[in-house]
Structures are given as C-alpha cells and as structure tokens.
Amino acid sequence: MLAKRIIPCLDIKDGTTVKGINFVNLRDAGDPVELGIKYSEEGADELVFLDITATHEGRKTFTDLVKRIALNISIPFTVGGGINELSDVERLLNAGADKISVNSTAIRNPQIINDIALNFGSQVCVCAIDARFDGNKWMCYTSGGRNLTDKELFLWAKEAEERGAGEILFTSMNHDGVKQGFANDALKHLSESLNIPIIASGGAGTMEHFKDTFEEGKADAALAASVFHFGEIAIKDLKDYLRNEGINVR
C-alpha cells in the first residue's frame, strides 16, 4: 500500500495566507513563503497553494509568489486558482509548480483536463472539487464555493478521471473549517469508485481525524490548513501518532 501523505494547504487572498469556516469569514494566517518553508522543514509530504479569489476576480495566479515559495521548499508543490488555459499551466510549471490544480475552469471547460494530461502528463493535473451535501446529494460549486453547478460530485469525479486527471482533491464545504472530521463516507465512495488517488480536504481538527480519513475514508492523502497554520497540530507529531496507530506514512 502506498504511504499516506500529509499536505498543508495555503489558501491565498491578496498575497496573504487566509483561513475561513465553510468558505467564509476569512482571517489572516501568515506569510505564505514563511509557512511554505516551515512545512517543508517539518516533514510535510507536499504543499498546496490555492489562490482562492483569482477565478472570482477574473485574474491570474500570483506567479511571483509561486516562484518565491518554490525556491524555498524541497517538497512537491501544487498550485491552483485562476488557471484558464494551457499557457497558465506552462507559466506556473515554469515558476516552480510540480502539479496544477483546476477546479472552476474544469467544470466550465472539461476539455482542459484532457489538454493538461496530454501536454504535461496526468501526474501534473489535479482536479479539485468543492462540493456541498444538500441533504440528498453532493453538488459541486465553482468560484471558491460561490456558485452552485449542475455537476454531482461522484459523476464529475469519474469524468475527470476518464479525461486524464491524476488526482482528485475533494473539499467538503459542509466540513470546511469546522474541525469535526472529514467527509469520510463520500471519500470512501470516491476511493472505491476511482482508480486515482483521492486527497481529503475539509474538517481536520484532531490527529484522530487524519487516522479516520485514512482508515474509514480510504483517502490517499489528507490536506489541512488551520490546524497547521495556527500551531494546533505539528506535522512531526501527527506522523508519529499515525505510525503508532499502524498507518503507513512517509
């Protein structure tokens, strides 16, 4: 079995790391370059950088900031936000990103997944999906959780895989920032129905939540933000805990 990955996430707004609850009420979480260095040194397996207002504001991701982070870290680096065409992918890869995350653009123009996979390889393409459970089914949202779409989570994730996505990064909007655990039932369904890695996002509050998403949710990686940014959980302590619980981590 592949080792499970621990991934801190930098949600960037106006060049600063922020964190909210259920995608709203954002607060400052620190300098993204300093946080990136810290997580790289602490043993994070990867780093995700999401420019969360780029799509909504109709602009490109902060390339200079991506460059500065990439120069200072030694772990795989995924970048997303405001990616609309292949030239954006190329620009960010040239700036130091290892993978590109597409979300809103992929829903509006699914062909971009095929194009990224064809031109740069499936391993570069992470399809991020923000979805909310409405009491009946999981529906996908775009523009940082602002706009409801007609895409259903499991059908869209399957289509993304078929188009060439190398990973699915699923964020439960219901669980985001609430710190009550990940959406493990939905994650388990994704893991069992797809053949590509699933990254769990939204809901980390304790070390047990990471254990649960690996065991119950069958997630391949767990992404979190505030518990790392605000010093509630140290990555080394988390990995030691998971190893003691019999979970294979890097």
Residues involved in catalysis: 11, 130
Which residues partner with 221 through β-bridges?
5, 199
Let me know if 209 is exposed, middle or buried by CB neighbors in 10 A (0-12, 13-18, 19+): buried
| Residue keyed to tokens 């019999």 | 246
